[in-house]
Structure 1
Amino acid sequence: MNVISLTVWTLENNCFIVYTTLIVCFTAFTIFHQKRLEDRYSRSVERKEKIPRNFSGGRERDFPDDEGDDPDQLIPALPEDTPHIPYQPPRRCDEEVLKRSQEFYELMAQRRTVRAFSPEPIPDEVLENIIKTAGTSPSGAHTEPWTFVVVQDPEMKEAIRTIVEEEEDLNYSKRMSRQWVTDLKPFATKPVKPYLSDAPALLLVFRQTYSWRPDGKKKMHYYSEISVAIAAGILLAAIQYCGLVALTSTPLNCNARLRDLLSRPSNERLELLLPMGRPHEGATVPDLARKPLNEILVKI
Structure 2
Amino acid sequence: MFIREKLQYQPQPLPDRVAMSDAEGIAAAAAYLQHMKTRHTVRDFCSRPVPRQIVEDCIRTAGLAPSGANHQPWHFSLIGNADMKAAIRKAAEKEEAKFYSSESHDEWIKALEPIGTGPDKPHLVDAPWLIVVFAERYGVFEDTTRYKNYYVPESVGIAAGFLLSALHNAGLVCLTHTPNPMAFMTKICERPASNKPVMILAVGHPAEDASIPAVAKRKKPLSEILSCFD
TM-score by length of 2: 0.93
Which residue is equivalent to 1:60? none
| Corresponding position of 1:228 | 156
Distance (whole Å) between structure 2 residues aligned to residue 220 and residue 273 of structure 1: 25
1:218 CA displacement? 2.0
- Seen in structure 2, the aligned counterparts of structure 1 residues 275 and 243 have a Cα distance that, compared at 3 Å, is same
The within-5 A match list for 1:63-82 is 79-80=7-8, 82=10
The structure 2 residue matched to 1:269, chosen from 176, 192, 196, is 196
1:297 matched residue in structure 2:
226
Matched residues in 1 for 2:179 and 2:6: separation?
A: 33
* CA RMSD after TM alignment: 1.8
Structure 2 counterpart of 1:148:
76
SS of residue paired to 1:142 = coil
Give the CA deviation at 1:90.
2.2
SS of the residue 1:158 aligns to: helix
Distance 1:191 1:112 in 2: 21
Secondary structure of the equivalent of 1:207? strand
1:161-200 mapped onto 2 (5 Å cutoff) = 161-174=89-102, 177-200=105-128
1:90 counterpart = 2:18: yes
The number of equivalent residue pairs is: 226
- Cα distance 1:172–1:96, how it changes in 2: closer, same or farther (>3 A)? same
What is the match of residue 13 of structure 1?
none
The answer for the alignment partner of 1:127 in structure 2 is 55
Amino acid at match of 1:292: P
- Partner residue, 1:280: 207
**Greater helix fraction, Structure 1 or Structure 2:** 1
User: CA 1:79/1:218 → structure 2, altered by over 3 Å: closer, same or farther?
Assistant: closer
8 Å Cα contact 2:89-2:124 kept in structure 1? yes
1:100 equivalent to 2:28? Answer yes
Distance 2:11 2:225 in 1: 39
Q: Please state if 1:114 is matched with 2:56.
A: no
Instruction: Give 1:68's aligned residue.
Output: none
For residue 203 of structure 1, give the secondary structure of its aligned residue in structure 2. strand
Over 3 Å counting, the alpha-carbon distance change for 1:184 and 1:132 in structure 2 is same
In structure 2, give the amino acid aligned to 1:238. A
Equivalence for 1:44: none
Distance 1:270 1:104 in 2: 30
Change (3 A) 1:129 1:247: same
1:208 is aligned to: 136
C-alpha distance 184-77 of structure 1, shift in aligned 2 (>3 A): farther
Conserved 8 A contact 1:77-1:141? no
Question: Following the alignment from structure 1 to structure 2, what is the Cα–Cα distance between the partners of residues 298 and 224?
Answer: 26
Superposed CA offset, 1:72-103 (max 9, x none):
xx965953153423335121111111111001
Structure 1 length-normalised TM: 0.72
Q: Give the gaps of 5 or more residues in structure 1.
A: 1-73
Deviation of residue 262 (structure 1)? 1.3
Q: Which has the larger radius of gyration?
A: 1
The answer on whether the counterparts of 2:42 and 2:211 sit within 8 Å (CA) in structure 1 is yes
Deviations 1:148-196 (A, max 9, x none): 1110011110000000000110011127521100111111111110110
Answer whether contact 1:140 1:221 (CA < 8 A) is retained. yes
Task: Give unpaired runs (5+ residues) of structure 2.
Answer: none
SS of residue matched to 1:247: strand
